[in-house]
Amino acid sequence: MRDRMPAPLNNLDRDAAVNVHQLRAGHWGRSEQYLHRIGRRPIPTCQQCNLKACPAARCIVCREGADTPEHVLLRCPCLAGARLRLTGNIHIRPEQLKDGELVAALAAGYLRHKEPLTGLQAGPSRP
């Protein structure tokens, strides 16, 4: 089992490390989809659900899909430039996400795009 685990995140600050671990676990405290699923982001038409097609789960940056970790790290168009700059390709492979610094950089980039739309600052990732 140890050989499948990603390397420790010793060189990241606490907030970046929390983002990386939460994204990898699928429980990111900055994801509208996750917060709606656990009942923290109800909307008038839907108090809580696990549907990725629910309007409350949409990525508020691109509106193209639910802001799941997979969407944020692999598909969100707002990060195409960051993916190209960091990996040399806009289409990264899931196995590249074992690199904690890459995941942290993509999470930080996403939060920079999201911050002006929500008015929230990119601080700790706790809901």
| All structural domains of the chain with their residue ranges | 12-118
Token representation of residue 6: 């990603």
Q: 86: how many CB neighbours lie within 10 A of its CB?
A: 17
Q: Which residues share a beta bridge with 58? A: 66
The model's pLDDT over 80-118, given as tens digits with 9 standing for 90+, comes to 999 999 999 999 998 999 999 999 999 999 999 999 887
The model's pLDDT over 46-71, given as tens digits with 9 standing for 90+, comes to 999 989 999 999 999 999 999 999 99
Rounded CA-CA distance 32/86 in Å is 25
Rounded CA-CA distance 31/1 in Å is 28
- Among 64, 40, 44, residue whose Cα is nearest residue 52: 64
- Amino acid letter, residue 26: G
Rounded CA-CA distance 22/104 in Å is 11
pTM: 0.83
